[in-house]
Structure formats: structure tokens, C-alpha cells
């Protein structure tokens, strides 16, 4: 809970207990407590902002006011009723405390690198693109850039400015009512908006980020800010119509297009849209970097050192770009099935890292849920078996020639995003999500530092020794 939220809840409990145990002659103290409760509630609403998870706490001063006003008339001798009331009050208090704790206004950890982090958001349009859904002709994308900043002075950027549309899109994708996550509007990041690019280096390596299908460009804020603080310019893309929501500068928004793609045939073909999105963004970065471009990133992008990472379908897009676009030198795929063109028979011949969630590649879990999946979708058991087998073949083929792989214990698919920060109820048994995020960041930075920035050799091997539980290795290294 936030500071004033915590004070409000603690004070509400204290005033209630005083109300229960006090005698009428001490009524003035209750009135003072109630006044303090109203003041803290108003301050909280004005300073921190209200949210529905605090509704039970907001009601307490009103309920206690009624109790004070009618105390003499309503006070009875019936022990059963009195203890029943205490039980209801205890249950009410439990819900009052639990609700904001289970759906918190969470905070990110401060990035550990030497650079403050800045961020800017841009609208890009590729004219005459006809291979993807569109609302106004051409392909419209929103991209957000996180970068090493000269100063940490300035307004901290919100987690996302588009909470309404994004929660609508997540409702479509995950069946979580939009209002449940409305408090995300209060989550802040460590990046400052529009701050100057750091002058500590002439140029910085570039890393592109692609979200998962139904995700959004900010979904890995824990990771993009950490990378930027270590000297990388990170470019996150909203893949319009496949993102939870894409909101354009003129206020238009497009939500997730529920096209219900499934299976390798459909998702392999759909990948071309994402590959073209990323290639177009790289073309735009080249324009930004040219002399005379007159933008914040003119001459600051080291386009000889471009990497990419992504989650789920975005991880598959990173692998596709590694294979299909010579500008991308390294890639990290976080728990993504390798949709798109099949990996080259000898691997990518470039640095590649496959991060796996333990539950995502556990055959026992697959077998245990197979009957339920067949019943829900109507697809045959054989089709699911074929999908599993093809997934394993592609994952192994991608590692030929020196690709790295690792599996993080107790993790599942969404562990590689911010999603498990939304509520402790989402964490897997045995999972400590912030420790998982630290591990992901440690390995990601080591991988990009060694193979993209060229800072030193052996950095990935150091992480393998530091975290033996993840089995970080290159099983088919020459």
C-alpha cells in the first residue's frame, strides 16, 4: 500500500477499536480520531488518488460517524448480537486490509546501472502497407524509446498513459474486467519524460523489444529500464491490432483484434506482419540517426550494434529478425514458441538466447492439461501432440551452432513480464517475482554486454556459475 493508504487503514482500525472499548465519557477522543480519519482520507484522495480497492477504508469514517451518533440508542445487552457484530467487523477489517494488498499500486525497483533513464514516445506510419489490419490506410505504429539520460531531473513517466484502452484489451484477452486493473494509472516508473540523451558516450547500442500477443510495449518495464540504465537505447513497439491496445496521438485507439489465430500454419504466416513492423522501425531509426535529422537521437544510435528481445510471440519475432534481417546481431527469446519460418538447420549462426519458463516446457504439465484443452477447444489430442513435438524440434534446432538456453525454476509464461507484479495472487508456488526479474536482468545484460556491446568475453559464463539452478548453457556449441 502507498503511504497515506497505509496510514488510513491503520487509523481506521485504531479508531474502530477505540470506539468498541471506550466508554461514553471518552466520546471526545473518538470524535478527534474520526476527524483525523476524515483528514487522512481527504489527503489520500487529493495526493495519491482514489482507487476502488480502498473503498472499504473510505466507508469506515462514515460508518463510525453513524455509530457515534446513535451509540446510546443502539447499544444493547444482547451478547449474541454484540459478538456477531464484532465478527462482522473483523471480517470487514480483513477485507479492507487484504484488497489493496492483493491488488497493490506496485513499484519498480530502481535501475542499477550508471545512467539515469529517459523516455519518449513516437508515432510512426508506413504508407501503402496492405499486409496488415489498418484503420486509416498504411500501417500505424506507436513506439516508445528508453535511453541513457543526462539527468534524472524531471517528471517520472507513468507506467502507461493508456490505462483505459489497455485494460479493455486485457479484458478481451484474459477475461479480467477492465475496472479491476484501473489502479495501474497510479504506477510510476523511474524514467523521466523527454530528458536529454546522456553525453557520456557518443553513441549507444540499440535493442528492439516486442511484446507478446495481446501484450503492450510497457509490459517489460522492469527490464527495459534496467537495460537503458546500463547504456542501451531500447525501442519498444506496439504491434497494432495484436497489442492489448494501441493509442495514437490524435486519441484514436485500436484494441486487440480477436482473430483467434492458432497452430503453426496460421501463426507462422502471421509472423510476417511483425517482422515487417520491426524492419520498418529499424528503417525509421536509420532516418533518425542521419546528420541533419534534427531530433534527439541524431547521431546517437549505434546501428552497427542492434539487438532484439521479446516475450512469447515477440520472442519468436526476435528470433525471426535474427535470421532474416542482417541488421540484427543478437536476440533473446523469452519463453516464445518459435513461430514464423523454421529456424535454419544449423541454427542462427549469431548469438541467440532462449529463456524458458519451467512450467512452459514441462511435459508432465502438458499431459495433465491435455484432456481439458481437448474438451474446451474441440481439437484432437493428436493435433496437440503434434504441436508439442514441433515446438520441441524448433526449440532444439534454434540452439544448433552455439545458441544458449536456460530454464528458470518455478516460473511460467507470464513470469517474464511485469504481470506477476500486478498481484501476489498471480505468482507461482515457490516463485519470488522480483528475484526472477533480477535474474532475467542479470542474464540479459550479460548477454548483450558480451555479444552486442562487446564489453568483455565470458560474461554469460559468469552468470551460469552465479545461477547454476537455471542450467544456462550452449548445448550444441562447436
Rounded Cα–Cα distance for residues 323 and 340 (Å): 10
What does the pLDDT read at residue 26? 62
How much is the pLDDT for 23? Answer: 59
Average pLDDT over residues 268-274: 96
Which domains does the chain carry?
A: 3-102 (no CATH), 117-470 (3.40.50.1820)
CB 356 within 8 A of CB 408: yes
- Residue 374's pLDDT band, with cuts at 50, 70 and 90, is confident
Instruction: Judge if pTM exceeds 0.75.
Output: yes
C-alpha cell at 205: 547500442
State yes or no: pLDDT of 78 exceeds 90.
no
Indicate whether 149 pLDDT > 90.
Answer: yes
What is the structure's pLDDT at 28?
78
Q: How far is CA 230 from CA 311, 334, 461, in A?
A: 20, 20, 19
pLDDT of residue 206: 99
Cα dihedral angle (59, 61, 65, 67), rounded to 10 degrees? 70
Among 410, 306, 303, 416, smallest CA distance to 354 is for: 416
Average pLDDT in the 263-282 region?
A: 96
Q: What is the percent of the chain with per-residue pLDDT over 90, rounded to a whole number? A: 78
For residue 76, give the C-alpha cell: 444493547
pLDDT at 74 over 50: no
Q: What is the mean pLDDT of residues 353-380?
A: 90
Tell me which H or E stretch contains 332: strand 328-334
Tell which wins on pLDDT, 260 or 190.
190
pLDDT at 262: 84
pLDDT digits (tens, 9 = 90+) for 37-73: 999 999 999 999 999 999 999 999 999 898 888 765 5
Mean pLDDT of all residues in the chain?
A: 93
Amino acid at each position: 500500500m502507498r503511504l497515506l493508504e497505509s496510514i488510513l487503514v491503520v487509523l481506521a482500525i485504531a479508531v474502530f477499536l477505540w470506539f468498541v472499548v471506550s466508554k461514553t465519557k471518552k466520546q471526545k477522543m473518538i470524535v478527534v480520531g474520526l476527524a483525523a480519519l476524515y483528514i487522512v482520507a481527504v489527503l489520500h484522495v487529493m495526493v495519491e488518488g482514489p482507487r476502488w480497492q480502498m473503498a472499504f477504508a473510505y466507508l469506515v469514517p462514515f460508518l463510525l460517524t453513524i455509530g457515534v451518533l446513535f451509540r446510546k440508542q443502539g447499544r444493547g445487552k444482547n451478547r449474541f448480537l454484540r459478538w456477531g457484530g464484532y465478527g462482522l467487523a473483523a471480517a470487514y477489517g480483513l477485507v479492507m486490509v487484504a484488497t489493496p494488498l492483493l491488488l497493490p499500486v506496485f513499484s519498480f525497483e530502481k535501475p542499477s546501472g550508471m545512467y539515469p533513464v529517459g523516455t519518449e514516445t513516437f508515432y510512426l506510419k508506413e504508407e501503402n502497407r496492405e499486409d496488415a489490419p489498418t484503420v486509416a490506410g498504411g500501417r500505424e505504429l506507436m513506439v516508445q524509446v528508453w535511453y541513457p539520460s543526462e539527468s534524472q531531473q524531471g517528471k517520472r513517466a507513468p507506467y502507461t498513459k493508456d490505462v483505459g484502452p489497455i485494460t479493455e484489451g486485457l479484458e478481451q484477452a484474459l477475461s479480467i474486467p477492465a475496472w479491476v486493473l484501473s489502479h495501474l494509472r497510479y504506477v510510476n516508473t523511474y524514467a523521466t519524460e523527454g530528458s536529454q540523451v546522456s553525453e557520456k558516450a557518443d553513441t549507444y547500442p540499440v535493442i528492439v523489444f516486442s511484446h507478446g500477443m495481446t501484450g503492450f510495449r510497457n509490459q517489460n518495464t522492469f527490464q527495459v529500464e534496467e537495460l537503458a540504465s546500463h547504456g542501451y537505447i531500447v525501442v519498444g513497439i506496439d504491434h497494432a491490432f495484436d497489442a492489448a491496445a494501441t493509442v495514437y496521438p490524435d486519441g484514436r485507439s485500436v484494441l486487440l483484434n480477436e482473430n483467434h489465430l492458432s497452430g503453426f500454419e496460421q501463426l507462422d504466416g502471421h509472423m510476417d506482419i511483425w517482422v515487417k513492423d520491426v524492419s520498418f522501425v529499424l528503417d525509421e531509426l536509420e532516418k533518425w540517426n542521419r546528420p541533419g535529422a534534427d531530433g534527439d537521437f541524431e547521431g546517437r544510435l549505434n546501428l552497427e550494434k542492434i539487438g532484439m528481445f521479446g516475450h512469447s510471440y515477440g520472442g519468436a519475432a526476435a528470433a525471426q529478425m535474427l535470421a532474416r534481417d542482417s541488421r540484427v546481431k543478437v536476440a533473446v527469446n523469452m519463453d516464445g514458441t518459435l513461430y514464423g519460418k523454421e529456424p535454419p538447420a544449423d541454427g542462427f549462426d549469431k548469438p541467440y538466447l532462449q529463456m524458458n519458463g519451467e512450467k512452459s516446457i514441462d511435459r508432465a504439465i502438458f499431459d495433465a492439461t491435455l484432456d481439458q484443452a481437448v474438451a474446451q477447444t474441440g481439437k484432437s489430442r493428436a493435433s496437440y501432440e503434434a504441436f508439442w513435438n514441433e515446438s520441441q524440434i524448433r526449440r532444439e534446432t534454434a540452439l544448433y551452432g552455439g545458441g544458449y538456453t536456460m530454464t528458470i525454476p518455478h516460473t511460467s509464461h507470464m513470469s517474464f513480464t511485469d504481470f506477476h507484479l500486478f498481484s501476489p495472487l498471480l505468482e507461482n508456488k515457490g516463485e519470488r517475482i522480483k528475484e526472477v526479474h533480477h535474474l532475467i536482468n542479470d542474464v540479459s545484460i550479460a548477454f548483450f554486454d558480451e555479444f552486442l556491446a562487446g564489453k568483455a568475453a565470458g560474461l554469460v559464463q559468469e552468470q551460469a556459475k552465479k545461477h547454476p539452478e537455471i542450467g544456462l548453457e550452449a548445448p550444441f556449441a562447436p
